[in-house]
Structure 1
């Protein structure tokens, strides 16, 4: 009978060694795979920006001709419009009737208060006669003092009631007059807000009246050009509808705060010697005495395409590629003006910094990127 041999200890040791070696190889392979799977920097379309003031090198800013004063015309009482006597674009004179309300209720109210006034006047006459008689009798001690006091009180009450009725009648008379709407100034009707047959409330606008006289030109001024539009500065104005003519203007008013959306300041310039051919609503080009290019040179402004604009909350921002480590940083900026394809940044950027121009809503802060130039640079030309 063959004796069964036991396994060799050297053979078991070699199996364990092979298993450990295999595990080591697999671990090294896994590590190498992880190292190979490390993401490469994400390519983003970005370019270095440089201060230029490009949109401010134009000689003028766009504007619009408007009346210096413009007010709504409204009835001081509620009622139904039964007649409108002017239309959009009509010229009206000071005191001219422009619309009428149905006066029936106001006429009845006036008649009622007038009747109350007549009754109060009659009672006053009777109380006064009684007072004069009792006064004479009291002087001769023919009546008791208490009776004279009652007569005096009755006369005072009748006098107060007459005065009250007079005020009520005067108020009713005014209410009737308020059913007629008159123009408080000479001017032009620029808007119609109510029609014949419509019930309107007190103070509801029926027309808008642009006053005759001084004419203003309104324009929106970016931050970098504020010095050129200080109050009192002179400017020249040209109108597209009147080619070849140039008008003088002076800055009358500059808004104390920027518009929260456009980040521009509204300037009002008084047009000097504006003729009758200057019509409201005409487009204008405003050229200040101080060149805009000179004003822009005092500020480092950047022209960026609108595709680069992002927002942090409600504040405008752009993505900047940090040169030190090629990571993205969201930078708040000050925007002074928006155009159709570009916007102007006056603060928040430094000359030469790289700004992301496309895909701003698909990146995140701290992301490592690789800046590449746009495929069609002309698409991002300002």
Structure 2
């Protein structure tokens, strides 16, 4: 057997040492990569949501009691207010005088136009008499035909001047009457917009008059509730000032377009059995006879705490924990009601899905999480 030299032995020992070290380094690197690739799921406060039928039945929209017709009262001529005969909250009758302007200028104008009318009437009488004399003389051939034509033209001009003066006198008389402000309908004075001694222009509002008669309730309807607020649909109305009473109403008018800011439609409902105790400006809760939305009736509604609400662009959304892989998904939802501590969702969720209730601004889509129950469940109770 051939004996190895000391030099060869040292070289082989060095190579074996390097191989062992390299294998250890590779093993450590593999372990490090394996540990970094599997971080622990992040804990989030989430609970499974279930359909809430009571929320659908109790859902209502806020509204306000208003008169069906409300118009400003204003003078049709300019002038200085010398007297106001009614005040805020007064009941007025149709044809009742509510304010007066200084009539001095209007009276002088009426007197002037009446004088012009008298003069025009006198000229017309003279022209008519002259025309009669000229016609009689023309039959006897005592005047030329041209003179008769001039007399006829003079009479026509006098007649036109008389008619013009009549119209001017009637206009001046009307303007004198316009210095008296009269209520065109019975109703209530809901606003005072000018004071005694103030100079006002024609058409400037002095009072606002809410007509007596039909009473409306105005409310803003979200898109999810449009089906229930179609024209002719019935609804029930409760008033905060009259607890324990419920009024019947019918949708009379629905705006054809949504408000560009609130994205809601203005609805007007007529109170069918409103009495004298129903006052203008009262706050109301409007509950349609049909469910708030067909989709809500089909899929149910969910009551969530307001802390779960997030936004996707400008649309309301919530974070849903997907059951398949425990990752987060931002889901757009339709909110049909905002309460003090909760929201009512009609579309976007399914029964049994887990929704994040807390820290919605600190998570991101696709993040792997671990759902945990809230520490104090009463804080998130609906």
TM-score band by shorter chain is 0.7 to 0.9
Partner of 1:185: 185
How far the C-alpha of 1:90 sits from its partner, in A, is 1.5
In structure 2, how many angstroms separate the alpha carbons of the residues matched to 1:140 and 1:362? Answer: 115
How far the C-alpha of 1:226 sits from its partner, in A, is 5.6
The 8 Å contact of residues 61 and 337 in structure 2, kept in 1 or not, is answered as no
Unaligned runs of 5+ in 1: 1-9
- Write the mapping of 1:219-238 to structure 2, written as runs, cut at 5 A: 223=224, 227=228, 231=232, 233=234, 235=236
**Stretch moving more, 39-48 or 90-99:** 39-48
**Stretch moving more, 335-344 or 258-267:** 258-267
Q: Map Cα deviations across residues 57-95 of structure 1 (whole Å, 9 max, x no partner).
A: 339776655444433222222333222111112122221
Partner of 1:4: none
- Write the mapping of 1:116-135 to structure 2, written as runs, cut at 5 A: 116-135=116-135
Partner of 1:162: 162
TM-score (norm 1): 0.73
In structure 2, how many angstroms separate the alpha carbons of the residues matched to 1:83 and 1:104? Answer: 14
In structure 1, how many angstroms separate the alpha carbons of the residues matched to 2:179 and 2:62? Answer: 42
The 8 Å contact of residues 50 and 302 in structure 1, kept in 2 or not, is answered as yes
Note closer, same or farther for the CA distance 1:251–1:154 as it changes in structure 2 (3 Å cut).
Answer: same
In structure 2, how many angstroms separate the alpha carbons of the residues matched to 1:105 and 1:363? Answer: 76
Q: Map Cα deviations across residues 120-173 of structure 1 (whole Å, 9 max, x no partner).
A: 333323333333333333333433333333332332222222222222221221
Partner of 1:255: 254
Partner of 2:271: 270
**Stretch moving more, 96-105 or 339-348:** 339-348
How far the C-alpha of 1:216 sits from its partner, in A, is 4.5
The 8 Å contact of residues 53 and 300 in structure 2, kept in 1 or not, is answered as yes
Q: Map Cα deviations across residues 11-46 of structure 1 (whole Å, 9 max, x no partner).
A: 9xx99xx8xx99x969x9699589849987665544
- Write the mapping of 1:205-354 to structure 2, written as runs, cut at 5 A: 205-216=205-216, 223=224, 227=228, 231=232, 233=234, 235=236, 246=245, 249-251=248-250, 253-255=252-254, 260=259, 261=262, 263=264, 266-272=267-273, 274-282=274-282, 297-298=297-298, 300-324=300-324, 326=326, 328-354=328-354
In structure 1, how many angstroms separate the alpha carbons of the residues matched to 2:319 and 2:196? Answer: 57
Unaligned runs of 5+ in 2: 1-9
In structure 2, how many angstroms separate the alpha carbons of the residues matched to 1:291 and 1:204? Answer: 45
The 8 Å contact of residues 227 and 295 in structure 1, kept in 2 or not, is answered as no
Q: Secondary structure at the match of 1:151?
A: helix
Note closer, same or farther for the CA distance 1:75–1:149 as it changes in structure 2 (3 Å cut).
Answer: same
In structure 2, how many angstroms separate the alpha carbons of the residues matched to 1:247 and 1:39? Answer: 59
TM-score (norm 2): 0.73
How far the C-alpha of 1:97 sits from its partner, in A, is 1.0
Note closer, same or farther for the CA distance 1:370–1:248 as it changes in structure 2 (3 Å cut).
Answer: closer
Q: Map Cα deviations across residues 194-238 of structure 1 (whole Å, 9 max, x no partner).
A: 222233333332222233344445566675596598736475x66
In structure 2, how many angstroms separate the alpha carbons of the residues matched to 1:182 and 1:309? Answer: 54
Kindly report the root-mean-square deviation, in angstroms, between the aligned alpha carbons of the 2 structures: 4.6
Partner of 1:153: 153
In structure 1, how many angstroms separate the alpha carbons of the residues matched to 2:291 and 2:365? Answer: 40
In structure 2, how many angstroms separate the alpha carbons of the residues matched to 1:115 and 1:38? Answer: 106
Partner of 2:194: 194
Note closer, same or farther for the CA distance 1:177–1:353 as it changes in structure 2 (3 Å cut).
Answer: farther
Note closer, same or farther for the CA distance 1:278–1:97 as it changes in structure 2 (3 Å cut).
Answer: same
Q: Secondary structure at the match of 2:58?
A: coil
Q: Map Cα deviations across residues 336-358 of structure 1 (whole Å, 9 max, x no partner).
A: 23223333322233333444444
Note closer, same or farther for the CA distance 1:141–1:268 as it changes in structure 2 (3 Å cut).
Answer: same
The 8 Å contact of residues 186 and 211 in structure 1, kept in 2 or not, is answered as yes
In structure 1, how many angstroms separate the alpha carbons of the residues matched to 2:167 and 2:32? Answer: 101
In structure 2, how many angstroms separate the alpha carbons of the residues matched to 1:113 and 1:312? Answer: 71
Note closer, same or farther for the CA distance 1:41–1:110 as it changes in structure 2 (3 Å cut).
Answer: farther
In structure 2, how many angstroms separate the alpha carbons of the residues matched to 1:130 and 1:266? Answer: 71
Size of the aligned set, in residue pairs, is 367
Q: Map Cα deviations across residues 243-300 of structure 1 (whole Å, 9 max, x no partner).
A: 67x566342525255864374763524343x554444445566677779899964552
Note closer, same or farther for the CA distance 1:332–1:289 as it changes in structure 2 (3 Å cut).
Answer: closer
